[in-house]
């Protein structure tokens, strides 16, 4: 790693003071954020930080408010049924966060008296709380000096110091510089200030350098092309996986569902039964041998596509009608199509519902697919 010029203590203090002055006049008002002069509520900070992982503020706001109304304390969330939590989380994605949030609430209730610990090390020992989240909670909720680095902070610091090392290789350099800049006084406000700066001024495209409190000190601004930083290593194309989903509709309007295993992708969520998702794909003919029950399975036109973090998915859908009274296979259950919104269905399953639902008939009349609305 090439040597980087750390700001002197005097330079770092001057930069952090400029940023805090800007924050005092331009801070965003967010439902989880304490007002000036108020103490932050640790439960709100923790809940928001988990929800904000790999998600935008705009997307999180309605979910945060819905969760807080439903479960206003750690104890309330710990007593909740995991299915309720997953259902209210629908549409926010990365469902492991919801499972860990619920697990963490139980740990806090059973081992910490329903309170979040203040130290980073203790926070990192809790389910679903990693390095970034622990630092953010310690700083914002408890006023501890902690180095908070998210995507916004990486972009701001890479531009401020003109770092040429591409991400993710630049993370170590950025961490060193972020540590140098983080003040002992008002560390929570500083963390929120630099994240606000990245979200509203030092944006990925067309940054508003003239509005930035660090204008005149920024290497990227001086270069005339601030949007060129940070550099990034080109990502590899995501592999394509394929599978077959089985849309079984009973004549009384019920649809066959099952719960995924708790571990792994979409763990604990409710799904339309399907084959495994393989790189080499499936043919409908081969997939029929893995159908959840014997029936006259027919191919539906088109495919269902969904993108995941590490791969793309294409699903062929086979549909079948079965008579009322047909028992569900072991580990599966029937559920009314018009009440699917009550189940914790991930996005890919909602796409299957939208794809197959209009083709389903109960009692001779078409039944509309009802994937339900996320709490927005």
Query: Annotated catalytic sites, by residue?
Result: 49
- Helix-then-strand count for the chain, H and E: 14, 9
Q: Where are the alpha helices (DSSP H) in the chain?
A: 9-26, 42-52, 57-70, 74-79, 82-89, 96-111, 120-124, 131-142, 151-160, 171-181, 187-200, 219-223, 284-287, 347-356
Give the bridge partners for 306, in sequence order: 313
Read off the tokens for 374: 């996320």
Which of 237, 88, 230 minimizes the C-alpha distance to 168? 230
Which of 227, 269, 274, 278 minimizes the C-alpha distance to 248? 274
Q: Are 304 and 245 in contact (CB under 8 A)?
A: yes
Read off the tokens for 87: 């259902």
As a whole number of angstroms, the distance between CA 33 and CA 44 comes to 8
Q: Are 236 and 176 in contact (CB under 8 A)?
A: no
By residue count, the chain amounts to: 376
Is the backbone of residue 86 left (phi > 0), alpha (psi -120 to 50) or beta?
alpha
Percent helix, strand, coil in the chain, to 5, is: 45, 15, 45
């Amino acid at each position: 790693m090439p040597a980087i010029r750390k700001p002197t203590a005097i330079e770092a203090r001057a930069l952090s003071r400029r940023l805090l002055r800007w924050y005092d006049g331009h801070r965003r008002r967010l439902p989880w954020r304490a007002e000036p002069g108020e103490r932050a509520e640790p439960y709100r900070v923790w809940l928001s930080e988990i929800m904000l992982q790999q998600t935008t503020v705009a997307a999180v706001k309605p979910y945060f408010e819905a969760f807080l109304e439903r479960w206003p304390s750690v104890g309330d969330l710990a007593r909740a049924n995991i299915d309720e939590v997953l259902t209210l989380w629908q549409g926010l994605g990365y469902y492991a966060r919801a499972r860990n949030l619920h697990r963490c609430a139980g740990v806090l209730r059973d081992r910490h008296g329903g309170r979040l610990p203040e130290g980073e090390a203790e926070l990192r020992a809790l389910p679903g709380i990693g390095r970034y989240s622990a630092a953010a909670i310690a700083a914002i909720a408890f006023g501890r000096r902690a180095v908070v680095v998210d995507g916004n902070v990486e972009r701001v610091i890479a531009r401020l110091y003109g770092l040429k090392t591409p991400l993710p290789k630049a993370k170590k350099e950025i961490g060193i510089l972020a540590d140098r800049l983080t003040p002992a006084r008002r560390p929570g406000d500083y963390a929120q200030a630099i994240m606000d700066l990245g979200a509203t001024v030092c944006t990925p495209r067309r940054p508003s350098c003239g509005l930035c409190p660090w204008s005149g000190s920024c290497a990227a601004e001086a270069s005339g092309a601030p949007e060129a930083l940070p550099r990034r290593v080109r990502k590899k194309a995501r592999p394509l996986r394929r599978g077959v989903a089985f849309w079984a509709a009973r004549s009384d309007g019920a649809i066959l569902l099952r719960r995924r295993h708790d571990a792994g992708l979409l763990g604990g969520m409710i799904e339309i039964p399907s084959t495994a998702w393989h790189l080499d794909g499936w043919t409908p003919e081969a997939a029929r041998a893995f159908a959840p029950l014997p029936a006259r399975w027919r191919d539906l036109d088109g495919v269902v596509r969904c993108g995941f973090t590490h791969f793309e998915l294409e699903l062929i859908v086979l549909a079948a009608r079965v008579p009322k009274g047909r028992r569900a296979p072991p580990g599966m259950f029937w559920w009314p199509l018009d009440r699917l919104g009550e189940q914790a269905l991930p996005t890919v399953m909602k796409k299957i519902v939208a794809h197959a639902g209009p083709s389903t008939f109960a009692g001779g009349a078409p039944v509309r697919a009802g994937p339900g609305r996320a709490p927005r």
